[in-house]
A and B are shown apart, each in its own frame.
Chain A
Amino acid sequence: MKYVDEFRDPAKARVLVHAITRRLDGIASRRQRPLQIMEVCGGHTHSIFRYGIHRMLPSTVEFVHGPGCPVCVLPMGRVDDAIALARQPGVIFASFGDAMRVPGSKHSLLQARAHGADVRLVYSPLDALQLARDNPRHQVVFFALGFETTIPATAMTLMQARADGVHNFSVFCNHITIIPTLRAILDEPQLQIDGFLGPGHVSMVIGIRCYDFIAREYRRPITVAGFEPLDVLQALAMVIDQIADGRCEVENQYGRIVPEHGNPLALAAMAEVFEPRENFEWRGLGSIAHSGVRLRAGFAAFDAERIFTLAHRRVADPGDCQCAEVLKGMIRPPQCRLFGGACTPQTPLGALMVSSEGACAAHFRYARHGMALPPAATTTSAATAT
């Protein structure tokens, strides 16, 4: 597959791992602890584990998994509200697959479906809008979540709904924005992040200049990264180079997709449909100012929160839950006292274990055994320099 296979080339991977190892060796003498690089985005967490990148790197660098998983940070109270919507008679509740298994205080959406709620899986908000057109006697509610990557799609869908006069369609908006999240992480006093891999697809919409404050105010380097394994390794090499050189810049490894100033059409659609909320609650991180968006007044007719009465209960995580600490990168998944015991992908207590690229689920699936795996077998792709 074009633009995919080339960025999974193992020979180039070896070149990058070699370069990274050498650069780290060069700075080893001035460091007491491994370099800690946070990958913000859940998609990067997934890539790291899926391709075994975490096993390819020397012990002088570690990934700290950031909170960039919009499903993982959805508060239980909002999940309960979603389920309440799904349970309304006459409602078809449309959701991405990612959110189906997230536990609310009693159930998940999937379990609610088993109890009779009409919950449908969709790939795109446009499909949810089509469901509304196809089912004029039902109210279709779309569970909108995601960062700025996804907000323009919801925006465009709502603009279409309004233009086409589709009156039985509404959106339950749980969209969040990345910059306040990054500030919350950077403001966390106990955190020791040396550099960041920036979210490639969010940046495709918002550009890279909005990260300037990270370099300027917080003096940390950030390299915006793509999601193929070579992208992740190359971005890692670039941010390590910055650290070794003593630079603090915003770099773009994903130039083939990410324009410096983002996508103006997408940004315009977002601005037309959405406005910032004063506060939005994040699971594990508490309330973060201006981190959520809601529908503007002009789209009130499509706002599920205005159409339906929702409980808006704040539901605390189970007492033992340490999702917050993992989300902030303060502990690793295996250090959570519930990890692998009470909390597993089959019996998830927190959202980090439910979402497929939540740090805990990824770690459990791909890395929990802790044991070394036997050395790589010699295959046809034997080691040769490119």
Chain B
Amino acid sequence: MTLRDTHVNMGHGGGGQAMRELIADVFVAPFDNPLLATMEDQARLPLAELAALGDRLAFCTDSYVVDPLFFPGGDIGTLAVAGTVNDLAMGGARPLYLSCAVVLEEGFPLEVLRRIVASMQQVAAQAGVQIVTGDTKVVGRGAADKIFINTAGIGVIARGIDLSARNARPGDIVIVSGHLGDHGAAILVARNQLALEADIRSDCQPLSGLVAAMLAVCPEIRCLRDPTRGGVATVLNEFATASGVAIRIDEDALPLREAVRGACEILGLDPLYLANEGKLLAVVPPAHADVVLAAMRAHPAGVDAAIIGEVIDQPAGMVFMQTGFGGQRVVDMLVAEQLPRIC
């Protein structure tokens, strides 16, 4: 049965027939899996199946509030699934099941909601996960900014995999899976406050396949994290602080698209602090660096992977960069959101 309403109204959140029709038509049908189709209040997942895959359950959640909702390379739906899948994958988990809770502003066009859901399903299929439970709320006009999405996810970590920000050791190699700052730059341009035009697309994508390929050749990977808000600089600082080591990166080794660089130059931004939604940073034992790099480059999500630096022991907790110019400077954590500057 196809919903005939064109816009979300308060009735759709009321718990009654209107809501059931919305859920069935807009969410359950596209997400299309037996667990969700039961339309129970909870998804029931056989423990034995989970236990067969490993010895720990990974569980995470994230909320998505991006503006604009649609941007080159993705939308809030792509982010909502990829982001949670990636948080699981960074722990070495195989992502399996997601929940999806939405808060809709009264008046939100259903056509737009369908597009978002389609994106979510596309990424879910790509990542091999199912969206098995959810919730829908509607708030009055002005009480929410169009749509907020929360996804939570569970996955299973295989025995013997131990990824942690605390694991980095002097001598380890730091690898990034591709170009930096694409998402952050794409959003800036898409918001159009700065009247820039550029062919920059968000890199938003699930990374579970890439992580599986990396762990297959090197189960001893030390740390994995995706540099979302705060960028590469923030994640490297997290590694350095948690592990009590220093990290040195080489500016010339950082993969950067020309247009992202151009946007940063015009606006006075540092690409090390721009968000990435389809990249990961890996800290890898030196003996395995080449093998991991090769495995990454052989995977579609890692074709531009590059070694960008190494872990050393002093000064502990610090990240610094050898500039392309021959100098060195400290790379701090992001204090507050970068704003374009004219000075």
Which residues of A does B touch, CB under 8 Å? 1, 4, 8-10, 13-14, 42-43, 46, 49-56, 69-71, 96-98, 100-101, 120-124, 127, 146, 150, 229-230, 345-346, 355-357, 365-369, 371, 373-374, 376-377, 379-381
A13 in complex: contacting residue of B246, B326, B343, CB < 8 Å: B326
Whether A49 lies near B329 (C-beta < 8 A) is yes
Interface contact B265-A1, CB-CB below 8 Å: yes
B250-270 contacts to A (CB < 8 Å) = 250, 252, 258, 261-262, 265-268
Residues of B close to A373: CB separation below 8 A:
315, 320, 328, 330
Q: Hey, what's the 0/1 contact readout for B304-341 against A, CB within 8 Å counting as 1?
A: 00000010101100101011111111101001100111
**B99-113 CB contact bits vs A (8 Å, 1 = yes)?**
000000000000000
Q: Flag whether B287 is at the interface (Cβ < 8 A).
A: no
The reply to whether A122 and B193 form a contact with Cβ atoms under 8 Å apart is yes
Q: Apart from A52-B323, A346-B336, what are 16 other A-B pairs with CB-CB below 8 Å? A: A13-B325, A13-B326, A51-B329, A52-B327, A53-B325, A56-B327, A123-B194, A123-B342, A127-B193, A230-B325, A346-B335, A365-B332, A366-B329, A366-B330, A369-B318, A376-B328
In the bound complex, CA of A42 to CA of B258 (Å) = 26
Tell whether B222 is near chain A: CB-to-CB under 8 Å. Answer: no
Q: Is the CB of A123 within 8 A of B195?
A: yes
The reply to whether A357 and B343 contact each other, CB–CB distance below 8 Å, is yes
Q: How distant is B255 from chain A, measured CB to nearest CB, in Å?
A: 15
Closest to A8 in B: B325
Assuming A4-B265, A346-B336, A379-B322, is B328 touching A55 (CB within 8 A)? yes
Residue of A51, A69, A368 near B343 (CB, 8 A) is: A69
Is there contact, CB below 8 Å, between B322 and A369?
Answer: no
Contact A70 B343 (CB under 8 A): yes
Chain B residues near A367: list those with CB within 8 A. 329-330
Interface of A is mostly: loop
Query: Which among A1, A97, A355, A371 is the interface contact of B340 at CB below 8 angstroms?
Result: A97
Interface of B with A (CB < 8 Å)?
Answer: 193-196, 246, 248, 250, 252, 258, 261-262, 265-268, 310, 312, 314-315, 318, 320, 322-330, 332, 335-336, 339-343
24 A-B pairs (CB sep. < 8 Å)? A1-B261, A1-B265, A8-B324, A8-B325, A10-B324, A43-B343, A51-B327, A55-B329, A69-B343, A96-B341, A100-B339, A122-B194, A123-B196, A124-B195, A146-B343, A229-B323, A355-B343, A357-B341, A365-B332, A367-B330, A369-B315, A376-B322, A377-B248, A380-B252
Chain B positions within 8 Å of A122 at CB level = 193-194
Choose among A55, A97, A380 the residue that contacts B339 (Cβ–Cβ < 8 A). Answer: A97
**CB nearest neighbor in B for A50:** B329
Q: Least Cβ distance of B264 to chain A in Å? A: 11
User: When A51-B323, A55-B328, A356-B343 are in contact, do A379 and B250 touch as well, CB less than 8 Å?
Assistant: yes
Q: How far is the CB of A146 from chain B (nearest CB, A)?
A: 7
A136–B306 Cα gap in the complex (Å)?
51
Q: Is the CB of A120 within 8 A of B336?
A: no
Known: A373-B328, A374-B314, A377-B248. A97 touches B341 (CB 8 A): yes
A346 to B243, CA, bound (A): 24
Chain A residues within an 8 Å CB radius of B250? 377, 379
Q: Evaluate contact between A123 and B315: CB separation under 8 angstroms.
A: no
In the assembled complex, how far is the CB of residue B308 from the closest CB belonging to chain A, in whole angstroms? Answer: 12
- A-side contacts of B329, CB under 8 Å: 49-52, 55, 366-367
* Cross-interface CB contact of A123 among B267, B328, B332, cutoff 8 Å: B267
Which residues on A sit within 8 Å (CB–CB) of B195?
123-124, 127
CA gap between A100 and B161 in the complex, in Å: 45
* B315 surroundings in chain A (CB, below 8 A): 369, 371, 373
Say yes or no: B252 contacts A379, CB within 8 Å.
yes
Residue of A nearest to B262 (CB): A1
- For residue A59, give the distance in angstroms from its CB to the closest CB of chain B: 16
Q: Given the complex of chains A and B, what is the CA–CA distance between A67 and B343 in angstroms?
A: 13
**Can you name the residue of chain A whose Cβ is closest to the Cβ of B248?**
A377
From B193, B196, B262, B328, name the one whose CB has the most chain A CB atoms within 10 angstroms. B328
Contact status of A123 and B340, CB under 8 A, knowing A51-B327, A379-B322, A380-B252: yes
Asked whether B341 lies within 8 Å of A381 as measured between CB atoms, the reply is: no
Which of the residues B328, B335, B342 comes within 8 Å of A96, measured between beta carbons?
Answer: B342
Q: Which residues of A contact B318 (CB under 8 A)?
A: 369
A-B interface, 8 closest residue pairs, ranked by CB to CB distance from nearest:
A52-B327, A97-B339, A10-B326, A52-B329, A123-B194, A97-B340, A345-B335, A51-B325
Contacts of B326 in A (CB 8 A): 10, 13-14, 52, 56, 376, 381
Query: In the complex, what residues of B have CB within 8 A of residue A124's CB?
Result: 195
Query: How far does the alpha carbon of A367 sit from the alpha carbon of B315 in the complex, in Å?
Result: 13
Please indicate the chain A residues that have their CB under 8 angstroms from the CB of B320 in the complex: 373
CB contacts (< 8 Å) of A366 on chain B: these are 329-330, 332
Closest partner residue, chain A, to B253 (CB atom): A379
Q: Which residues of A contact B268 (CB under 8 A)?
A: 356
Instruction: Give CA–CA (A100, B338) in the complex, Å.
Output: 11
- Cβ of A178 to closest chain B Cβ, rounded Å: 13
Bound: A357/B322 CA distance, A: 20
**CB <8 Å contact, A381 and B340:** no
A97: B residues at CB distance < 8 A: 339-342
B327 pairs with A42, CB closer than 8 A? no
Q: Is the pair A365, B330 in contact by a Cβ cutoff of 8 Å?
A: yes
